[in-house]
Structure 1
Amino acid sequence: MALPENGYGPARILWFCLGSISLALGAIGAVLPILPTTPFVILSAFAYGKSSPRLEQWLKDSPTFGPMIADWRAHGAIAPRYKRLAVGMMAAAFLLSLVLGVSGKVLIIQALCLSDAAAYVLSRPNGPR
């Protein structure tokens, strides 16, 4: 389905909403270490690219978020600093679940999901030196 060049068709509105929600979660993740920032910012840039090229360009030009997007697009890369942060936060979330006494079934599912997510993040290249 092609997006309309002008106007605000349903697809553009949905992409815009996804981009905005994702960017909000990424911004929260920049302040609160519970959420990762990089994946949400990358998703925002992708969604804004489908809905609002102006907002996509704003993100790419951002001194905070632009380098993450550029590294991802050019190399599929996540900087080591962000890898450590993401994996650390995943571990903290799991430890919090342990401390709160979450049921064993949930802990197993959480451990599987978090370990898969961590493996993916750690398997990405570090980017150019």
Structure 2
Amino acid sequence: MNQILYKNILIILGWFFVLLGMIGIVLPVLPTTPFMIVALAFFAKSSPRFHQMLLNNRLFGGALKQWEDSKTVSRRSKYRALLLVFASFSISIMILHGKLGLQAMLVTIAIIFLIFIWHLKEEVM
């Protein structure tokens, strides 16, 4: 009974992170791939079917397979993510002109995201 409950909780969490990742496709402030990686980890422990579904997805399956195999990202993906974070946060900061507290918060979050992305290991060719 406890094993079934544990698996169901992991499946629910996996779908929650898939949903966040899907929202991230539309909302540039939310990063899609990290949420999908977390969902992949939950599904790996609870549902082989959902795990394979993510790995076979045509949009982000390749990046997830690479992450699962080698814990690396492509240099192109890394630079694209850095650019997207920089651009989306810059626009958000400009929109909040005159609201220094919110701007400072966004700058702090952007710096954390940029450092995190920068430190991801790149695939070795």
**Alignment partner of 1:103 is 2:88:** no
- Separation in 2 of the partners of 1:19 and 1:105? 34
Deviation at 1:102, TM superposition (A): 6.3
Q: Say which SS state the counterpart of residue 122 (structure 2) adopts.
A: coil
Deviation at 1:115, TM superposition (A): 0.9
TM normalised by structure 2 equals 0.77
Letter aligned with residue 15 of structure 2:
S
Aligned residues: 123
**Alignment partner of 1:77 is 2:78:** no
Within the candidate set 23, 43, 59, 1:28 is matched to 23
- Separation in 1 of the partners of 2:98 and 2:52? 42
**Alignment partner of 1:115 is 2:111:** yes
Deviations 1:47-79 (A, max 9, x none): 112221221122123333222122212322122
- Separation in 2 of the partners of 1:102 and 1:59? 42
Q: Which has the higher helix share?
A: 2
Where structure 1 has 5 or more consecutive residues not aligned to the other structure, the ranges are none
Deviation at 1:40, TM superposition (A): 1.4
Structural mapping, 1:1-129, within 5 Å:
4=3, 7=4, 9=5, 11-95=6-90, 96-101=92-97, 103-129=99-125
Between the two proteins, what is the percent identity of the paired residues? 26
Deviation at 1:38, TM superposition (A): 1.3
Q: Say which SS state the counterpart of residue 30 (structure 2) adopts.
A: coil
Deviations 1:31-56 (A, max 9, x none): 55443221111111011122212211
Deviation at 1:108, TM superposition (A): 2.1
Where structure 2 has 5 or more consecutive residues not aligned to the other structure, the ranges are none
CA RMSD after TM alignment? 2.4
Letter aligned with residue 75 of structure 1:
S
